[in-house]
């Protein structure tokens, strides 16, 4: 059993910055979690990334970079280089302390129906500049085998489930929920492979709403939402979206849901209603699982929105199920996705599956990722 020290880099659909997390793992059951940190994008750069979504609409082949995307890809990569350097400095890590980097990049387009997903990020440049081998482009092989290319975190969720304390393992099946810009869920049974799929909007709509109408980047802790009321008719209209009627596996692009239905509401009512949309979408995912989960473990930035969590608790109570934040289960809810990318990089090195028919719809369990060797270090 060979353990590898890996660093995962994740910039998700919330587009707020780079999460970094280090683990030591054999790529199978064991994962010893190490330090983590987040490097935020300043507002001006975040707006540039958001503007890049418009350029990305013109992409027809995954190697195309129309408009400003060529420059943006390089800048995103360099920011990841600097984030790795800051991480090493902060935690006093030398060259021998890190064996592989798992690099997600920044998703700017995801069209699973067309077999097309685009993450900006130059793995070869990152490897050269950090002096460390990099595994990147981990979604493409799944799509080449008929998969949605998302979500990829379920393999790590399954490993985490096996590490739960005995009293929580007794509650399997468990659902891991990640609330980023998009919300996704992983169903981990007592035996067998996980099942997973995106389950609806996460933070993206709420962020867009409060930016447009409140002049703030996000609803800290759900404070704005806590002052508003749920407009249930609008929640019902969101739930009529065809996506919620589709069986899994399924995945979303950030632009698949819009603010059209909440336009005209007061700021707080809009934030509160969108929080209810997120929690309702998560709860409805239980109907698509082999069995309804007895435990929901919530991670990602959205777990800090107390209105989303409170709504999910109320809904899960219908099934006598528990809802707990990742930290209550002994995990790091901010670092879980970055940890997953480190874990997947090690699985890629070992040729182990990253995705499964029940998580992405691929024809068979497949590995993935491209290995970029560090040919020179310029630290």
Query: Region 68-73: what's the mean pLDDT?
Result: 96
Query: Region 330-342: what's the mean pLDDT?
Result: 94
Q: Does domain 4-149+336-372 have CATH number 3.40.50.300?
A: no
Q: Per-residue pLDDT tens for 176-210? A: 999 999 999 999 999 988 999 999 999 999 999 99
Distance CA 199, CA 179 (A): 10
Tell me the fold of 154-329.
Answer: Nucleotidyltransferase; domain 5 (3.30.420)
CB 176 within 8 A of CB 188: yes
Q: Per-residue pLDDT tens for 269-299? A: 999 999 999 999 999 999 999 999 999 999 9
164 — phi, psi (to 5°)?
Answer: -65, 150
Q: Where in the chain is the domain with CATH 3.30.420.40?
A: 4-149+336-372, 154-329
Query: Region 139-149: what's the mean pLDDT?
Result: 93
Q: What is the pLDDT of residue 1?
A: 66
Q: What is the pLDDT of residue 183?
A: 94
Question: What does the DSSP 8-state code read for residue 248?
Answer: S
- DSSP of 132-200, one letter per residue? S-EEE--SHHHHHTT------THHHHHHHHHTS-HHHHTT-SEEEEEESSEEEEEEE-SSS--EEEEEE
pTM exceeds 0.95, yes or no: no
């Amino acid at each position: 059993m060979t353990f590898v020290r890996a660093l995962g880099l994740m910039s998700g659909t919330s587009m707020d910055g780079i999460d970094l997390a280090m683990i030591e793992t054999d790529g199978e059951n064991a994962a010893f979690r190490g330090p983590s940190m987040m490097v935020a994008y300043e507002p001006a750069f975040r707006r540039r990334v958001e503007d890049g979504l418009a350029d990305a609409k013109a992409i027809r082949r995954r190697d195309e970079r129309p408009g400003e995307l060529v420059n943006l890809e390089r800048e995103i990569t360099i920011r990841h280089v600097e984030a790795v350097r800051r991480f090493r400095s902060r935690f006093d890590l030398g060259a021998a302390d890190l064996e592989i980097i798992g690099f997600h990049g920044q998703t700017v387009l995801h069209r699973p129906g067309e077999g097309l997903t685009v993450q900006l990020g130059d793995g070869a440049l990152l490897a050269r500049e950090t002096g460390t081998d990099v595994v990147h482009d981990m979604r493409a092989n799944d799509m080449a085998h008929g998969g949605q290319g998302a979500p990829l975190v379920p393999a790590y969720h399954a490993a985490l489930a096996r590490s739960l304390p005995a009293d929580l393992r007794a509650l399997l099946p468990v659902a891991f929920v990640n609330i980023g810009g998009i919300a996704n869920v992983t169903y981990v049974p007592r035996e067998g492979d996980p099942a997973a799929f995106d389950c609806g909007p996460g933070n993206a709509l709420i962020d867009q709403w409060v930016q447009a109408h409140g002049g703030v980047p996000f609803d800290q802790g759900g404070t704005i939402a806590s002052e508003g009321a749920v407009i249930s008719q609008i929640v019902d209209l969101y739930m009529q979206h065809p996506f919620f009627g589709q069986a899994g596996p399924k995945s979303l692009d950030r632009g698949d849901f819009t603010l059209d239905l909440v336009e005209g509401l007061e700021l707080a009512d809009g934030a509160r209603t969108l929080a209810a949309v997120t929690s309702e979408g998560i709860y409805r995912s239980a109907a698509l699982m082999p069995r309804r989960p007895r435990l929901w473990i919530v991670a990602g930035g959205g777990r800090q929105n107390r209105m989303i969590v409170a709504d999910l608790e109320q809904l899960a109570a219908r099934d006598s199920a528990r809802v707990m934040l990742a930290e209550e289960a002994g995990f790091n809810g901010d670092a879980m996705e970055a940890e997953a990318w480190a874990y997947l990089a090690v699985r890629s090195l070992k040729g182990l599956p990253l995705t499964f028919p029940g998580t992405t719809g691929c024809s068979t369990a497949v590995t993935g990722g491209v290995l970029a060797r560090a040919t020179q270090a310029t630290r």
